[in-house]
Amino acid sequence: MTELGPEVDTTPRPLPVRTRITGRTVALEPLHPRHAADLWRAAQGGDESWAYMGYGPFPSPEAMARFVGDFASTHDPMVWAVRPVATGMVSGWLSLMDIQPKNAAIELGNIWFAPVMQRTRAATEAMFLVLRLAADDLGYRRLVWKCNALNEPSRRAAGRLGFVYEGRHRAHMVVKGRLRETDWYSIVGDEWPRCRDAVLAWLDPANFAADGTALQGLASIREGLG
């Protein structure tokens, strides 16, 4: 007999909607042209943060505003502005994209964080909030992360959140005139609860010293969950 894959729930998953998502250290707001001024200020001195993005850096506030206005109008990707509680200033964005309701697959991508927000608790929580929306609230069973194969910080971030490396698309695309190879990662099915619980434990205020240093790393917490 021909062997086939397992049967699954084929109900199409709901589409994400434009709504505010509030966490302990960060708020996600549907991207809007009013965010452009904050984003321009946050981007100053951070040209390197755009190195692996398909857009940016922007030469003027007007150029940033035009891009934000256009980006805010898309439904796939659906983009949120990221406002850390500590500063109150929008300092980045991220999106859900390549949304496939019938396949229950969705990608977390277009992640741009200004230097002031990189490697912060708010950055981790921002990514987690969108993943939890996709997996727990909307029921997507395949969460995807893709990045330039040369983007070591993005590759580390994927592994830290619990994404599993799937492989590399060679000579995949051209970005800003340069050939890009793309690494693929995923969290699927029953892998998500363990990843979710590890991030929640890492984000718990009890895991942080008075100076804001994490007492236990996310990877070690996840390993401890078995």
User: Helix or strand or coil: residue 54?
Assistant: coil
Burial class (CB in 10 A: 0-12, 13-18, 19+), 66: middle
Instruction: Please enumerate in sequence order all residues whose Cβ is within 8 A of that of 205, keeping only pairs 6 or more positions apart, or say none.
Output: 24
**61-113: pLDDT as tens digits:** 999 999 999 999 999 999 999 999 999 999 999 999 999 999 999 999 999 99
Q: Which helix (H) or strand (E) holds 188?
A: strand 178-188
The token pair at 27 is 């708020």
What is the average per-residue pLDDT within 172-191?
97
Spatial distance between the Cα atoms of 47 and 71, rounded to a whole number of angstroms: 19
User: Helix or strand or coil: residue 181?
Assistant: strand
What is the average per-residue pLDDT within 150-171?
98
The predicted pLDDT at position 1 comes to 83
β-pairing, 78-84 with 26-30? antiparallel
- Give the confidence band of 221 by pLDDT, cuts at 50, 70, 90: very high
Strands of 142-148's sheet, edge to edge?
A: 21-22, 26-30, 78-84, 92-100, 105-113, 142-148, 178-188, 164-175
The token pair at 72 is 């805010």
- Give the confidence band of 173 by pLDDT, cuts at 50, 70, 90: very high
21-224 architecture in CATH? 3-Layer(aba) Sandwich (3.40)
**122-142: pLDDT as tens digits:** 999 999 999 999 999 999 999
The token pair at 22 is 């509030």
CA 164 to chain centre: 15
Spatial distance between the Cα atoms of 76 and 73, rounded to a whole number of angstroms: 9
**35-62: pLDDT as tens digits:** 999 999 999 999 999 999 999 999 999 9
Statement: residue 226 has pLDDT above 80 = no
Question: For the chain, how many residues are written?
Answer: 226
Give the pTM: 0.96
Spatial distance between the Cα atoms of 82 and 94, rounded to a whole number of angstroms: 8
